[in-house]
Structure 1
Amino acid sequence: MAADSLRDQAVALLRDGTSNAEVARHLRVPPGTISWWKHRELEKRGELPGPRRSTCPHCYGDQLDTAAYSYLLGLYLGDGHIMWPKQHRVPNLAITCDDKWPGVMDLVEQTMREVLPNNSPCRVRRTGCHDVKIYSMHLPCLFPQYGPGKKHERLIALAPWQQRIVDEHPWGLIRGLIHSDGCRITNWATRTVNGVVRRHEYPRYFFTNTSADIRGIFTAALDSVGVEWKASIPRPQGQVNISVARKASVALMDEHIGPKH
């Protein structure tokens, strides 16, 4: 019997009040499969009990914390990825965080909770870092950039509703991109004055990404807040550095972002 036909029969029996166990025995389907079909049917009808359902502004009209979302969008575009392996029923968003920056890791987890308050993020240990993950069927709704292949090998463009959020909260996006794929460093240079070599140090922000589309989203946000930037010559692998070095622009970045911690 076709899987769709079995599922339709199961859903009909469940609607009539038949227990999961009875449906599983009657149709000779694993109980876990029956439970999943029931869950998806309740979700489709908007009848999941409160906190068990993922929030989604598109499917259910739930309110979205737009400031937190702008930051999480920057994290995803910078160094995050959404995976939906065939063996998993639910996709997951993973943001890789260096163990050197525990404050950033805490902020990533907190932001995931703010964007998806009915879901629980987790941390997966890796060598020198952790993946901060959250699972939800609605990740493709929240991040329509999701798709097969690497982000720099396909078109990345903000949906109109995402652009409105970024226009409202540009610093959230910029902070997310810097925290995931950027840094603040201290550069130095020397010059000779009256025969004396003097060393001059100055702070600088860098954002490095291979995707021209993502770099364009980043620099458009910088333009919108009045930050001056320059782009480097592409590396052999296609990576390009976006540099912010002018004193006034660095001061503006420090006010809203600051060093990783």
Structure 2
Amino acid sequence: MHPPEMRARARALRDRGHNIRSVARTLSLPYATVWHWCVDRPERAVVGSAVRCFRCRPQPESPPDPAAYAYLLGLYLGDGHLVTTDRVPVLRIYCADTWPDLIDRCAEAMLAVLANKVQRVQKRGCVAVQSTATHWPCLFPQHGPGKKHARSIELVHWQREIVTAHPGDFIRGLFHSDGSRFTNRVTVRGKQYVYPRYMFSNRSTDIMGLCQWALDLLNIPWRMNLKWSLSVARRDAVAALDRHVGPKS
């Protein structure tokens, strides 16, 4: 039995922004004990990002804006990175300078899902749209050390439910990060054909599989032209994808 003073100290550290693992390490306590004291208690006056974390409520709920979450999940799997080694986790999505509207949409999705504030940090050729919040790891359990293509990427059951209900938003996030729409030109027997085409490229076979699954949910035909490159080229398929993805701009 731990003394009440230890519990109060753990909660004080948690309320100052430390994550559960940091508190447990500081006080030499089991992770589960600190979680029970600081999160899994109905009397807790929830502060900060815990107010908005739909996974950490006594009864886990759906996100307030599931379409925004599905879109942000697609962006994260493509060009996102979650840093959990800092005192407070940082979610970063890298967006090319070429697409200012995409930068705005990314920031709006973060605010709709969890963030109280979003920063835009200029990098060479891109902007890192980022937000610090203790509970980002709760919403993106795919985070981990190393590059995504070098480790397993699987959606947990509640994420699959959200994507199943909002596959178009998820696909838009994937294509706005690692996809493109361009005009393809081919010449057959001296005659040139010009048509629009979508491409999605990702070295992770797991993420590629999630893209294929979401396209199947939308009944949009696709084919693989390389192991890491997917193509949507049929006229009706491109038109269908246009309704869900649209231009990055």
> Contact between 1:190 and 1:198, CA under 8 Å: does it hold in 2?
yes
How does 1:85-234 map onto structure 2 within 5 Å?
85=85, 88-117=86-115, 119-192=116-189, 197-234=190-227
Q: 1:226 to 1:8 in 2, by over 3 A?
A: same
Give TM-score, length-normalised by structure 1: 0.78
Taking the aligned partners of 2:230 and 2:49, their CA distance within structure 1 comes to 42
Cα distance, 1:123 vs. partner? 0.6
C-alpha distance in 1 between matches for 2:194 and 2:145: 43
Query: Does 2:248 match 1:255?
Result: no
**1:151 Cα deviation (Å)?**
0.9
Pairs aligned (count): 226
Matches within 5 A, 1:23-62: 35=16, 44=39, 46-49=44-47, 53-60=50-57, 61=60
> Secondary structure of the equivalent of 1:232?
strand
User: Would you say the 8 A contact 1:113–1:120 is kept in 2?
Assistant: yes
Q: Do the aligned residues in 1 keep the contact of 2:137 with 2:143 (CA within 8 Å)? A: yes
Secondary structure (helix, strand or coil) at the match of 2:197 reads strand
| Structure of greater Rg | 1
Supply the distance in 1 between the matched residues of 2:74 and 2:178 (Cα, whole angstroms).
9
TM-score normalised according to structure 2 size: 0.81
- Residue 258 of structure 1 deviates from its aligned partner by 1.7
Contact 1:54 1:137 in 2 (8 A): no
After TM superposition, what 4+ stretches of structure 1 lie above 2 angstroms from structure 2?
7-12, 32-37, 39-46, 51-54
Kept in 2, the 8 Å contact 1:184–1:260? The answer is no
Counterpart amino acid of residue 103 in structure 2: M
Offset, 1:140: 1.4
- The answer to whether the 8 Å contact 1:43/1:53 transfers is no
**Alignment of 1:245 onto 2:233:** yes
1:96-122 Cα distance to aligned partner (Å, 9 max, x none): 0001100111000001000015x2111
Residue 225 of structure 2 aligns with an amino acid whose one-letter code is S
Deviations 1:165-204 (A, max 9, x none): 0110000110000001111011101234xxxx43221100
Contact 2:49–2:114 (CA under 8 A) maintained in structure 1: no
Please provide the CA RMSD for this pair.
2.8
Deviation at 1:79? 1.4
Displacement after TM superposition at 1:215 (Å): 0.4
Unmatched segments (≥5 aa) in structure 2: 24-33
Structure 2 residue identity aligned to 1:112:
M
Counterpart residue type for residue 84 of structure 1: T
Q: Unaligned stretches of 5+ in structure 1?
A: 16-31, 235-239
Q: Distance in 2 between matches of 1:34 and 1:109?
A: 25
User: What CA distance in whole angstroms lies between the structure 1 residues aligned with 2:197 and 2:233?
Assistant: 5
1:161 is displaced (CA, Å) by: 0.6
